[in-house]
Amino acid sequence: MDSLTQIVLGASVGEAILGKKVGNKAPVWGAVGGTIPDLDIIPGKFLDTVGQLDIHRGFSHSLLFCLILAPAAGWLIHKIHQRSGVGWKAWAILMFWCLLTHAVLDCFTTWGTQLLWPLDYRIAWHSIFVIDPLYTLPFLVFLVFVLFTRRTQPLRRRLNHFGLGISSCYLMITLINKWQVNDRFEEAMAGQNIPYISYQTKPTPFNNLLWSCTAITQDRAYLGFYSLLDEPGPITFFTYPKQHELLDHWKDHPELQTLLKLTDDYYTVEQTDQGYVVNDLRFGQSTGFLEGKGDFVFAYEIDVDPSNPAQLSITQRENSFDGMEGFLWDIWERI
């Protein structure tokens, strides 16, 4: 999820654990704990494109990381607030739950989170977009009221629990929506005789009503959209040739294999003058998405050195986002 959402969640969890004892110090340190896992972008700055992708939501989002960092952070916070009357173990518990809830919330999104690191497995439930105002804004409003309410007042705890409850219920609703959407897409693909090997469904940006489905067959990828407010009727699927065979010559190249593994096999390949482009299908297109046109949000240029064809250079293609002025309006109209 986005940084603001993780800060709000961390602050609310911190308040739930120690707010009654230490007041606003609890949500402040909770916000810090909710931010720490995303600092994996710092070491990522020193890595190449594939290394950055591989490290993101890796060790820093794992249960092991929570268990290692929480005691150390709890001891440090205790040293800073020695007069708070709270021991280091209580601070460690606060940090553990703030770190862990960050990682678990990210599991609801599309990228995938290595919660069980060092196991090389990414958990992604694809039920919420990384920025969803309906999840964050009500949560934020309750947290603001909490921060301006005295810690001795029972209302403060009730407001915080209410914010946590509403946000958690919304997450459960996204899973229910996904279950309904999956049934609808499966029915549509069966009706159109699409022999899919697997498929993924996910909400489109900033909402949980309009969903997309990416299905892959032996040689093609299918992309379709369905709104929970749609009238009964057929779903249109756009098709794209996978063309995975274009990269067969480099099937043992370690960086390329890491990149392709990160896409979870949801990718297409296009040939260019310099080499190839790998389109990560999981995140859809930035423009023209309702017509099946436009660049994919995450695309990677694979440049081949003519003097040494065994060498590849992998870089992420910059997305200009040209024509995005009507993006939100297009989503609203389709909903």
Would you say residue 20 lies in a domain? yes
Would you say residue 160 lies in a domain? no
Would you say residue 266 lies in a domain? yes
pTM exceeding the 0.85 threshold for the entire prediction: yes
What HEC string does 191-251 produce?
HCCCCCCEEEEEECCCCCCEEEEEEECCCEEEEEEEECCCCCCCCCEEEEECCHHHHHHHC
For residue 121, what are the domain limits? 3-125
Domain boundary among 69, 100, 125: 125
Average pLDDT, the chain: 93
Would you say residue 166 lies in a domain? no
pLDDT of 174 over the 70 cut: yes
Domain boundary among 95, 125, 155: 125
Q: What is the pLDDT of residues 15-37, one digit of tens each?
A: 999 999 999 999 999 999 999 99
DSSP-assigned states of every residue in 251-293: TT-HHHHHHHHHTTT-EEEEE-SSEEEEEEEEEEESSSGGGT-
* Mean local confidence (pLDDT), 111-125: 94
Token pair of 64 as six digits: 């092991």
Domain boundary among 67, 92, 125: 125
Would you say residue 104 lies in a domain? yes
Contact present, 301 and 312 (Cβ < 8 Å): no
Question: What SS3 state is found at 86?
Answer: coil
* Mean local confidence (pLDDT), 273-277: 87
pLDDT of 60 over the 80 cut: yes
Would you say residue 177 lies in a domain? no
pLDDT of 103 over the 80 cut: yes
Q: How many domains does the chain have?
A: 2
